[in-house]
Amino acid sequence: MKDEDKAKERLKNELAELRQRITDIELKKCLEHRKRLEEELEKRTHDLRERVKELNLLLGISKLVEERDFSLGEILQGSVDLIPSAYYYPEITCARIILKDKEFRTENFRETPWKQASEIRVHGKIIGTVDVFYLEAKQKRDEGPFLKEERELINAVAERLGRIIERKL
């Protein structure tokens, strides 16, 4: 009977060990899944913050236009000053708007190889550009160092400025 009791005890211990291994494996899987979910949440939160920055730029331009006392030049300078804050690397972003023979620049403006540009059109004719530069190299993304969302943003800014200019003229 003692051998039988020893065998039962050994089986009981092996079963407890197996249960613990299964629990450990399930726990590990749950922790890995949780980590993936947290990483995804962090990425989506970051992306959402970037979209909010872009919306704030467009809102800021709209607010400049609402101020009846602002001249077209003041609106364009105000717009160019707002642009860097909407980009992924605002601290190394500079911008300029060229409108016919006039140029509006951020204080830190400098041309570099890392450029993104969009044409400003009025009544279908190109009358200027919105140019954004990074002041230093960054990792390659969708369009050089720029994100595809930044391409959409600069196009939206150029289009919006074209409509503003049409109304002002």
The pLDDT assigned to 47 comes to 85
Could you tell me if 113 and 146 are in contact, meaning their C-beta atoms sit under 8 angstroms apart?
no
Q: How far is it, in rounded angstroms, from Cα 36 to Cα 55?
A: 29
Average pLDDT over all residues of the chain: 90
The predicted pLDDT at position 1 comes to 61
What single letter denotes the amino acid at residue 141?
A: R
Give the start-to-end residue ranges of the domains of the chain: 34-168
Per-residue DSSP letter, 145 = T
Q: What is the pLDDT of residue 7?
A: 79
Q: 94: which strand partners? A: 133
User: Tens of pLDDT along 65-121?
Assistant: 887 788 899 999 999 999 999 999 999 999 999 998 899 999 999 999 999 999 999
Query: What pLDDT shows up at residue 144?
Result: 80
Query: pLDDT higher for 1 or 47?
Result: 47
Write the pLDDT tens digit of every residue in 117-154.
999 999 999 999 999 999 998 888 777 889 899 999 99
Tell me the CATH number for domain 34-168. 3.30.450.40
- Summarize pLDDT for 8-23 with one digit per residue, the tens: 888 888 888 888 888 8
